[in-house]
Structure 1
Amino acid sequence: MKKVLATILIFSITFVLFIPNNIVSAAKPHTVNTKIHTYKGQKYVQITGGNQQVKDKINKVLKIYAVKASQENVELKKQQNYFYRQTTSETKFNNNQRLSVVFKDYYYKGGVHGYEEATTYNFDLKTGSQLFLNNVAKTNQQSVNLFDGIESGLRVKKEVFDDKIRNFPLSKKSSFYYYNDGIVIIFDPYQVGPYVAGFIEVKVPYTRIQSNNTLPFLDLTKDSVKYLKQGKLPGFKEISFGKTIKQVSDALNSKVRESYYESGGLFWIFEGWNYASFNFSEESGRLAYVYLSARAFPMKGFDDIEKILGKGTRFESTEYEGEFVLTYQFDNVYLEFTSESPKESVNAIKISKR
């Protein structure tokens, strides 16, 4: 028995000694560390450790940011010697799988005070690829959950403007960083609160983003066209054009909260449905128009919509300055998406049947 055990022990030691180095190293995760560097007065993060190609890829991106900041600072001083741009940087998250770096820029171009902006870089430390909000909220449902989570976070912050609690900027390029249980959204001064409030941050846990939301949303997919042609609203079960106000109320399991006039028509808002308003024809009393806020279809721009529905018609609004429109017609059903820029997220949607 002792001879058998001795033989097994010798074999085990020999096997370990002759394991290829690449297998041994693969079993141990590479440790990535970060350090602050300075380029002509502008701070930026650089990483050490990990895969060499990944390290070089990330470090190049981060240094370029500081170089561009320095160049802009020089140009500002050419305009007035007291104008400037100052960049700081810090590592917000690093778990050897994902890395979050936040740059904060202070610009001064005269006046009582300057203004500040945050720019975030999130990386996959296995590939060096940048990660954006659509890598966190990957489905329409998760995007809506993220929107709702941000709204809930803003609602409890006293410094947030009332009209920004449900109307805040959100796109896949919005600033955020990771923490162990989710992400943190960063809003610049003035975006959702006064300058004195500084940067306003909202935590949204993964559990919130990945939850099953019960409130409907505009769930546009490549199959949506056939539903729209039937007068149905994708994602809104049992709601379709031609329904009476009572039928819509029953479908929403809600009663009318308030009404308002817009564009010559009366629109109704139901309790618990702040992001949607419904217009019923004065002649027939049946559903004719639906207005939806960004909450119903968040983080989507014109390009995203055209990938789903195909090429639409784009133009700049003649009614509202600085508003851009993307429209579709599917038989007698019309979709109209509006945004402040063709490159920014949609801020309102109108669906009508004529």
Structure 2
Amino acid sequence: MKRILRVLCLVLINFLLISVASMEASAEVKTAVHTYKEQPYIQINGGDAAVTEKINQILKDHAISVAKANKAWKNYDAEYYTRNVKTLYNNNKVVSVGYVDGLKYNYENKGTYFSVIYNFDLTTGQRIMLRDIVDSKDKEMNLEYAISRNLQLKYSKGIKIYEKSVYDIRLTDSTPFYFYENGIVIRFYPSEIAEYSVGFIDIKIPYSDLNEKGTHKLISYLDYLRNHVTDYIDSKIDYFEGYRISSMYSLANGEVWEQVEPRFIMLPSYSLSSKVRIYKDGARYYLWVEDMADVVEVRRVHPE
């Protein structure tokens, strides 16, 4: 009788071990690259079947949208396509899939590239947005400070970061990011915060930086210029109604400056004879007009 019980116990233990191994195997999520009308996309397998189906449909829909857009852009002698797609992170709990899409006119040597990153909770199939991770004002301030610190380091190493971008951190819920083992990675497009030749810039932000107690307030770029930059020109402008790209600003000293930064900030009403200061920071020039809380990048058009 005892022998029979021992055999039954061994059978039960083996059954349990096999069941656990089977559950673990089914919970493991793998990814593979597929194509739809020459556009690559990621599909996952493993895990909960309903969750997998939900995620896969979203990932395939991206390729379908790109293919449709490419067909439309061909009428304008251009190509819209997915340059590459990668699984950026997968720990069987969350997965990050990154698409790099491009728009290129056939008569140009370079295209415009941007990244769409999908982060999913593999338990529910829900997309994870930046607001789900940066879910408080303190974390938002910590994130901006950490990005600024990282950009300052890159700038000091000679990477062609725009000076203003070091302090003017603009994040939205659609800002692309992906996970890594100890935090998140924020991605910036080519020419978004640095010269086009630099390409994409990925900045690692550890959870420890996000969750740090005692927040760091990032100063504005205007405050930085006022406190640290001594190379500037003071003048006045007869008529001013706000910042707008391609606007020409004629100063009282005879100089004319063109706004090259895509910023649009209009005053409630125009101002007359406002004070103006042109700061030179690195190789770039920035215009500040009295009563404005920001500066814009400009270039001098007269005298050349």
> TM > 0.5 between the two?
yes
Taking a change above 3 Å as real, the CA distance of residues 108 and 136 of structure 1, as seen in their structure-2 partners, is: same
> Is residue 94 of structure 1 aligned with residue 90 of structure 2?
yes
2:267 alignment partner AA:
E
Paired with 1:317 and 1:161, the residues of 2 have a C-alpha distance of 20
Aligned to 1:241: none
In structure 1, the partner of 2:104 is 108
Note closer, same or farther for the CA distance 1:162–1:36 as it changes in structure 2 (3 Å cut).
Answer: same
Q: Deviations over 1:165-186 (max 9, x none)?
A: 1113211221011111111111
Task: Answer whether contact 2:145 2:216 (CA < 8 A) is retained.
Answer: no
Match of 2:163 in 1: 162
Q: Distance in 2 between matches of 1:160 and 1:29?
A: 45
SS at match of 1:128: coil
Change (3 A) 1:77 1:215: closer
Question: How many angstroms does 1:137 deviate by?
Answer: 1.7
What CA RMSD, in Å, does the superposition of the two structures yield over aligned residues?
3.3
| Contact 1:43 1:89 (C-alpha < 8 Å) held by counterparts | yes
CA contact (8 A) 1:146 1:204 kept: yes
Shift of 1:11: 5.5
Among 127, 130, 134, the residue aligned to 1:133: 130
Which secondary structure state, in structure 2, belongs to the residue aligned with residue 104 of structure 1? strand
The equivalent of 1:85 in structure 2 is: 80
Choose between structure 1 and 2: higher strand proportion.
2
Aligned to 2:9: 12
Aligned residues: 225
Distance verdict in 2 for CA 1:320–1:53, change over 3 Å: farther
Give SS of 2:103's match.
Answer: strand
The residue type equivalent to 1:173 in the other structure is S
How far, CA to CA, are the matches of 2:160 and 2:128 in structure 1?
29
Check if 1:200 corresponds to 2:201: yes
Question: Letter of the aligned partner of 1:40 in structure 2?
Answer: K
Instruction: From 50, 64, 68, give the equivalent of 1:67.
Output: 64
Match of 1:276 in 2: none
Q: Return the alpha-carbon distance in structure 1 between the equivalents of residues 131 and 92 of structure 2.
A: 21
Say yes or no: does 1:121 pair with 2:122.
no
Distance 1:32 1:22 in 2: 18
Give, in whole Å, the separation in 1 of the partners of 2:187 and 2:265.
Answer: 30
Task: Pick closer, same or farther for the CA change 1:164–1:317 going to 2, 3 Å.
Answer: closer
SS state at 2:178 partner: strand
Q: Give the deviation of 1:14 after TM superposition.
A: 5.2
8 Å contact from structure 1 (residues 104, 119) kept in 2:
yes
Contact 1:149 1:208 in 2 (8 A): yes
1:209 partner amino acid = L
**Structure 2: distance between partners of 1:318 and 1:161:** 24
The 1:22–1:139 alpha-carbon spacing in structure 2 relative to 1, beyond 3 Å, is farther
- Closer, same or farther in 2 for the Cα pair 1:196/1:181, shift >3 Å? same
Correspondence 1:1-354 to 2 at 5 A: 9-10=6-7, 12-13=9-10, 15-16=12-13, 25-26=22-23, 30-80=27-77, 83-87=78-82, 88-109=84-105, 110-157=107-154, 158-215=159-216, 319=267
- State the one-letter code of the partner of 1:100: S
* Cα distance in structure 2, aligned partners of 1:17 and 1:196: 59
One-letter code of the match for 1:180?
E
- Judged with a 3 Å threshold, the aligned counterparts in structure 2 of structure 1 residues 257 and 130 are, in CA distance, closer, same or farther, namely same
3-state DSSP of counterpart to 1:211: coil
Structure 1: which 5+ runs fail to align? 218-255, 262-315, 322-347, 350-354
- TM-score of the aligned structures, taking structure 1 as reference length: 0.57
SS in structure 2 opposite 1:177?
Answer: strand
* 1:183-214 CA-partner distances (Å, limit 9, x unpaired): 11110011100111110111101111111124
- Work out the CA distance in 1 between the residues paired with 2:211 and 2:8: 49
Match for residue 258 of structure 2? none
Paired residue secondary structure (1:319): strand
How far residue 10 of structure 1 moved from its aligned partner, in angstroms, is: 4.3
Q: 1:318 to 1:89 in 2, by over 3 A?
A: same
**8 A contact 1:169–1:191 mirrored in 2:** no
Query: Compared with structure 1, are the counterparts of its residues 53 and 214 closer, same or farther at alpha carbon in structure 2 (3 Å cutoff)?
Result: closer
Q: Where in structure 2 are there 5+ consecutive unaligned residues?
A: 219-225, 229-233, 235-263, 270-292, 295-304
CA distance in 1, matches of 2:207, 2:268: 38
Check conservation: 2:26, 2:46, Cα contact below 8 A: no
1:77 counterpart letter in structure 2: K
For 2:7 and 2:19, locate their aligned partners in 1 and report how far apart those are by CA, in whole Å: 23
Q: Counterpart of 2:160 in structure 1: which amino acid?
A: E
- Residue 13 of structure 1 and its aligned partner are, at CA, apart by 2.9
Q: Structure 1, residues 275-294: CA drift from partner, whole Å, max 9, x if none?
A: xxxxxxxxxxxxxxxxxxxx
Change in CA separation of 1:7 and 1:27 when aligned onto 2, cut-off 3 Å: farther
Residue 174 of structure 1 aligns with an amino acid whose one-letter code is T
Q: Secondary structure at the match of 1:36?
A: strand
